[in-house]
């Protein structure tokens, strides 16, 4: 007889960074065994952007050219954030829609009936 799946175990395996990786890049199981990043969003953004701003500061210590590059990069980063935020909202809404199409009460009743056997 085949072992029944534990839905609680399945739910506990959910990792937002793995889901993000799957949604953005497709299936890449090589990094899924790594521990999730626990830094705050602010820290992650700062660590990711800081080397870029330092490079610009070193290449262009003063002047209009530095300001122009700052403006271009800031606009690019902002556009990137806007697009991925909208995409995230749409993916989340699609996921919720899929969840609502199922009948969770029917599934709970099925689980309860299986436990009584």
pLDDT in tens, 14-39: 677 777 777 777 766 665 666 777 88
Query: Do 113 and 85 form a contact (C-beta atoms < 8 A)?
Result: no
In tens, the pLDDT along 45-102 reads 899 999 999 999 999 988 899 999 999 999 999 999 899 889 888 888 888 888 788 7
* Predicted confidence band of residue 1 (pLDDT cuts 50, 70, 90): very low
- Whole-prediction pTM: 0.56
Query: Do 70 and 56 form a contact (C-beta atoms < 8 A)?
Result: yes
pLDDT number for residue 54: 93
Name the DSSP letter for residue 29. Answer: G
In Å, how far are 16, 40, 53, 104 from 26, measured between CA atoms?
14, 24, 30, 28
- The whole-angstrom separation of Cα 24 and Cα 89 is 14
Name the DSSP letter for residue 13. Answer: T
pLDDT above 80 for 43: yes
pLDDT number for residue 3: 55
Query: Sign of dihedral through CA atoms 63, 69, 74, 75?
Result: positive
Provide the strand spans (E) within 1-117: none
Q: For 36, list phi and psi in degrees, rounded to 5.
A: -60, 150
pLDDT number for residue 21: 73
| Closest of 44, 43, 49 to residue 76, by C-alpha | 49
């Amino acid at each position: 007889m085949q072992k029944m799946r534990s839905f609680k175990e399945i739910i506990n395996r959910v990792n937002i960074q793995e889901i993000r990786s799957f949604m953005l890049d497709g299936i890449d199981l090589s990094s899924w065994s790594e521990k999730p990043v626990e830094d705050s969003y602010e820290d992650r953004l700062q660590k990711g952007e800081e080397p870029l701003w330092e490079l610009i500061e070193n290449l262009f210590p003063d002047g209009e050219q530095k300001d122009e590059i700052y403006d271009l990069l800031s606009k690019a980063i902002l556009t990137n954030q806007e697009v991925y935020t909208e995409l995230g909202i749409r993916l989340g809404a699609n996921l919720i829609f899929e969840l609502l199409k199922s009948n969770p009460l029917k599934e709970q009743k099925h689980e309860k009936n299986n436990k009584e056997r």
